[in-house]
A and B are shown apart, each in its own frame.
Chain A
Amino acid sequence: MIRDILMYMDRTYVTNFKKTPVHELGLNLWRDHVVRSPKIKSRLLETLLSFIHRERNGDMINRGLMRNIIKMLMDLGPSVYQEDFEKPFLEVAAGFYKMESQEFIECCDCGDYLKKAEKRLNEEIERVSHYLDSKTEIKITAVVEKEMISSHMNHLVEMENSGLVSMLAYDRYEDLGRMYNLFKRVSPGLALVRDVMTAHLRNMGKQLVTDPERLKDPLEYVRCLLNEKEKYDKIITTSFNNDKSFQNVLNSSFEYFINLNARSPEFISLFVDDKLRKSLKGVTEEDVESLLDKVMMLFRYLQEKDIFEKYYKQHLAKRLLSAKSVSEDAERSLILKLKTECGYQFTSKLESMFLDMKTSKDTMQGFNAMLSSSDICDSPSLSVQVLTTGSWPTQPGTNCNLPREILAICDKFKTYYLSTHTGRRLTWLTNMGTADLKADFGKGQRHELNVSTYQMCVLMLFNAADQMTYKEIELATDIPPVDLKRNLQSLACVKGKNVLQKDPMSREINEDDVFIFNENFSSKFFKVKISTVAAQKENEPEKQETRQKVEEDRKPQIEAAIVRIMKSRRILDHNNIVSEVTKQLQSRFLPSPVVIKKRIESLIEREFLERDTTDRKLYRYLA
């Protein structure tokens, strides 16, 4: 109103003489004489702050009044708002939250504390939106973050029984999510969470893979790994907003501890073997896929992929030869996955194994057709799998004397096969076959026995005799002693399947033990399966042997990599060779620097490389 009265002066005089306009002057006067008058200033501030304090304590206050007063302060210029209100407001808030956080931290567990902190933070944000300047939001949240989170961060994460570790252990997704969101606000909040999670993961994983109890059961071992992986994946997706850095930490931790146990590749392959043998029966295709994907995830963590390949090949061979695979689709799908992961080279032999199986089927059809056209039908039926040497993990040359009946048909097959495939060589691998025998026992009982080829050889001897000594059996069959003993054990020492009787009745088999045909053998089943060729965990010497084979296989691979690198680089220093070789081979295994050095020395010896005459670290390629 005053401005209206003095409008003319405001328009002409004030602008001409550069005086303060009336409106502004009025505000200034109001500011200096009312708002900042010594009596009012402190009282106003105190009132405001005490209102806010009461609101923080849960009382209802007159928000409209607050809004108006703050609005007035803001109208008087940003400096008034900041100096006279905002600054003390922030200070008081800092003091308040400092006290409160101290109080909470002493009496609450981590989850509750975080809940409270989150509530406080939201309250402050709400307060700003209701009656404070929006610019204050960043400042007040910074205060709350600092007092309630930053200063207690370590304490919170490490809280016993309720800190991060226990949240992870008990899948407290909500609390974890809250922690993630709150800690994300401050630095280095997430880094701290990440570090503690890594430490916990590694620790837990290490315990898991080194627990001797766990090592007894490979399937359980892998199942545990898968469970852990699933658990942490879920935590990261539900609580940590799928944060990339957390995923990386998860991956690196798994890679770290899976490789702590050198048997992980073997166990993973055994797990797959078990799944493909039986557990996948009647499972839908999608479930199979998702399971295989999970296994591939573990496979990716392995540093020694070539060892996995070795075991996988062994297990696959047994599955294929004993026709125990549940689903060929699943087998192929896994091989495809391995191929995409590691390249053509990795799976070429596995694929050729499948090819062999298929060709063998065709060959057998042809052979059987030929047999039925000629009129010999009294001989036992034969099923042969022709395996390509080199593609299969076979042990060469352990042969035995086959019974006459079998030998005849084997020879027939040989002639048949060689007549269609000239220039090939066939060797019988009697240690890998199986046979079905029909046997008549004492009380007119007839059973069909499913046995290994070796056991078949032994049992056929008893067509002509009722009892034989170990020596006689060994002489007649020519089976290697270790295999013979094992097979005799399963024929004579397993309860319910003791087709033979042994004298004396001990488990150990000695040179002059006598074996007698068990007339009184009986079984509920018509078909009796004597031996199991199921893949088992390797024992110590076998493990060593596989290890050694793998090490031998690696040598040429490392050398080839060195030569490849040097061929293109000509001159390169030691450390660079080592890192390049490691990079080239890491999709298969992780060569140690010492091993690489050894290969380099061997290449120097064979004059592929030479050392530079002055700089010892440099190698030159000799074309």
Chain B
Amino acid sequence: MRRSSTRKPAAATTNAGNRAAAKELERIDTLFGQYADKNEELTIGPEGIEQLCRDLGVEPTDIKILLLAWKLQAARQGYFSLEEWRRGLKAMRVDTVDKLRKALPSLQLEVANIDVFRSFYTFAFQYCLTEPRQRTLDVETACQMLELVLGDQPHVSSFITFLQEQKEYKVLTLDQWTGYLRFCEEINPDFSNYDENQAWPLLLDNYVEWAKAKQ
């Protein structure tokens, strides 16, 4: 009894806010309903996402959609659950397609921060793991993802060429994936500050050797 009585005043002041939030949530749920899968309760499936993309006016392969998935912290590729949808849209403070379209560029601004980008980058890897217990990404998918998330970085295109040419690795591990981001952040385009004794993943040692031989 005592607990509820002490809480009361605080509840009273936020009452208006609560009501607004409840309304927002309702609209978010309605929006969810527009895209939700007919067969599967409480999820937006691949078809729903395609429809959403059309409504937003972006390609499904656009990085913005990946950013949206990241913002939603979507666990499964090609699917948004109601919970993820609510959490993500609430955080972005959007409840209509129009608002969502306008909010997308702000996501791009958000990942301009290097720490945020790291979380996005790691998400991109994990998002692609579709099978249960899958831990590694095949080189082909990895190359596509690299292109998508790091496309404008100086090393990337030559690294992708290297990945496609080499025969030793057929899959990439999370360690190699995140290692590569640090590599992009720290290493000069001419590799002048690359030190093999710095415990880089072996894949990167090989890459640098390959790239230097090419130069």
Q: B residues 182-215 with Cβ under 8 Å of A?
A: 182, 197-202, 205
Residue of A nearest to B183 (CB): A616
Complex partner residue of A574 from B136, B174, B199, CB under 8 angstroms: B199
User: CA A601 – CA B200 in complex, angstroms?
Assistant: 10
B135 contacts A by Cβ under 8 Å: yes
Name, among A573, A574, A616, A617, the residue most crowded by chain B CB atoms within 10 Å (CB to CB). A616
Residue of B nearest to A577 (CB): B199
Residue of A nearest to B171 (CB): A605
Size class of the contact patch on chain A: 10 to 19
Q: A604-B173, A604-B175, A605-B175 are in contact. Are A575 and B202 (CB under 8 A)?
A: no
B202–A597 CB distance below 8 A:
yes
A2 contacts B by Cβ under 8 Å: no
Q: A residues 562-592 with Cβ under 8 Å of B?
A: 573-575
Q: A601-B175, A605-B135, A605-B175 are in contact. Are A616 and B182 (CB under 8 A)?
A: yes
Q: Which residues of A contact B202 (CB under 8 A)?
A: 594, 597-598, 601
User: CA A225 – CA B202 in complex, angstroms?
Assistant: 38
Q: Which residues of A contact B200 (CB under 8 A)?
A: 616
A53 contacts B by Cβ under 8 Å: no
Q: B residues 131-166 with Cβ under 8 Å of A?
A: 135-136
User: CA A597 – CA B198 in complex, angstroms?
Assistant: 11
B102-136 vs A, CB cutoff 8 Å, 1 = contact: the mask equals: 00000000000000000000000000000000011
Q: Which residues of A contact B182 (CB under 8 A)?
A: 616
Residue of A nearest to B175 (CB): A604
Q: Which residues of A contact B175 (CB under 8 A)?
A: 601, 604-605, 611
Q: A residues 237-261 with Cβ under 8 Å of B?
A: none
User: CA A575 – CA B173 in complex, angstroms?
Assistant: 22
Q: A604-B175, A605-B175, A611-B175 are in contact. Are A617 and B135 (CB under 8 A)?
A: no
A575–B197 CB distance below 8 A:
yes
Q: Is the interface of B mostly helix, strand, loop or mixed?
A: helix
Q: Which residues of A contact B174 (CB under 8 A)?
A: 605
Interface size on B, residues (CB 8 A): 15
B173–A601 CB distance below 8 A:
yes
Residue of A nearest to B182 (CB): A616
Q: Which residues of B contact A604 (CB under 8 A)?
A: 173, 175
User: CA A601 – CA B202 in complex, angstroms?
Assistant: 8
Name, among B136, B174, B200, B201, the residue most crowded by chain A CB atoms within 10 Å (CB to CB). B201
User: CA A572 – CA B176 in complex, angstroms?
Assistant: 20
Q: Which residues of B contact A617 (CB under 8 A)?
A: 198-199
Q: Which residues of B contact A573 (CB under 8 A)?
A: 199
B199–A616 CB distance below 8 A:
yes
Nearest-neighbour CB distance to chain B for A617, whole angstroms, equals 5
User: CA A611 – CA B197 in complex, angstroms?
Assistant: 15
Nearest-neighbour CB distance to chain B for A597, whole angstroms, equals 5
Q: Which residues of A contact B198 (CB under 8 A)?
A: 574, 616-617
Residue of A nearest to B196 (CB): A593
Q: Which residues of B contact A598 (CB under 8 A)?
A: 202
User: CA A574 – CA B175 in complex, angstroms?
Assistant: 15
Nearest-neighbour CB distance to chain A for B165, whole angstroms, equals 20
Q: A residues 200-254 with Cβ under 8 Å of B?
A: none
Q: Which residues of A contact B135 (CB under 8 A)?
A: 605
Q: Which residues of B contact A574 (CB under 8 A)?
A: 197-199
Nearest-neighbour CB distance to chain B for A569, whole angstroms, equals 15
Nearest-neighbour CB distance to chain B for A292, whole angstroms, equals 42
B201–A601 CB distance below 8 A:
yes
User: CA A617 – CA B198 in complex, angstroms?
Assistant: 6
A605–B173 CB distance below 8 A:
yes
Residue of B nearest to A611 (CB): B175
Q: A residues 398-430 with Cβ under 8 Å of B?
A: none
Q: Which residues of B contact A616 (CB under 8 A)?
A: 179, 182, 198-200
User: CA A611 – CA B179 in complex, angstroms?
Assistant: 10
Nearest-neighbour CB distance to chain B for A243, whole angstroms, equals 37
With A601-B175, A611-B175, A616-B198 given, can you name 9 additional A-B contacts, CB distance below 8 Å? Answer: A573-B199, A597-B199, A601-B201, A604-B173, A605-B173, A605-B174, A605-B175, A611-B179, A616-B200
> What are 25 A-B contacts with C-beta separation under 8 Å?
A573-B199, A574-B197, A574-B198, A574-B199, A575-B197, A575-B199, A594-B205, A597-B199, A597-B202, A597-B205, A598-B202, A601-B175, A601-B201, A604-B173, A604-B175, A605-B135, A605-B136, A605-B175, A611-B175, A611-B179, A616-B182, A616-B198, A616-B199, A616-B200, A617-B198
Q: Give 4 closest A-B pairs by Cβ, nearest first.
A: A574-B199, A617-B199, A604-B175, A605-B173
